Amino acid sequence: MAKVVVVGSSNTDMVVKSNHLPVPGETILGGEFLMNPGGKGANQAVAARRLGAEVVFVARVGDDIFGRESVQGFGKEKINTDFIAVDAENPSGVAVIMVDEKGENCIAVASGANHALSAGDVDKAVVQIESASVLLMQLESPLATVEHAAALGAKKGKCVILNPAPAQSVSDELLANLDFITPNETEAEILTGIKVTDQESAQRAAEVLRGKGVGTVVVTLGSRGAYVQSEALSVLVPARNVDAVDTTAAGDTFNGALAVGLADGLSIEAAVGFANQAAAISVTRMGAQSSAPFLNELEL
């Protein structure tokens, strides 16, 4: 079984689904409320586990009901929780999510214990990283911790993937330690200064990132698929056409699936196609982790 270590965030998502997203000062009645486990790191860990990888999750939660329920949930998913620290000083992270009838969303996050995830927390999992094929990270953790993890993964010769979300600029030192980076259009623009609207602009943004030392750039383009650029590859991998219900965590499902595909030894193009297929299934369902598909639902 392929092994993936995910370093990242764990949140509890509080979701209200209504017919449209409110504008400032507006109150919308008649919505549907759901409470689900979430957080980009946790979502990606669950997606990778459901798609067949052995998964170790390095994270931090509060000593509260949200943290306890999160860890219990990871255990039910058969994720290794030995490296999830319980923080006595900070609450567990929470996210408030609003979703409209077209599946579009807006999200506000209170990070809590996620912002206390440290380099020391990562170092405790060094043996797990050494025995893994892929190290997967996002940007809901402190940037210094992400940089430390990437440097450690690169030193150990692992495939290091960064999903640069939520969007923010990162150092060239971090980029140089990445085998893969997976920005969407907004994130690619923040990282490169190039507005990404189509395959041509995605290609130019990818060239900038590759010029800073990233091995392979995968720019996700929503319903159009994903543009991939590596030393030997420049291709748009198309997405599957589906009716979206909720796009929450579609990117997380994509990244978890990409990590599994690469850990399983698929080619880059095949791994991205695998990830596109998993993400397409996820947007047809409500929720974050709950929307991640299982391996038997994909066409291999």
Please identify every residue annotated as catalytic.
Answer: 252
Count of positions (residues) in the chain: 300
Known binding residues for K(+) are 246, 248, 282, 285, 287, 291
Q: 12: which DSSP letter?
A: E
Q: How far apart are CA 56 and CA 171, in angstroms?
A: 26
Tell me the β-bridge partners of 111.
none
Backbone phi and psi for residue 210, each to the nearest 5 degrees, phi listed first: -65, -35
Considering just the CA atoms, what is the radius of gyration of the chain in Å?
Answer: 18
Strands 32-38 and 11-17: antiparallel
Helix residue ranges, H only, 169-297: 172-176, 185-192, 199-211, 250-263, 268-282
Known binding residues for ATP are 184, 220-225, 251-252, 276
Known binding residues are 11-13, 39-43, 140, 184, 220-225, 246, 248, 251-252, 276, 282, 285, 287, 291
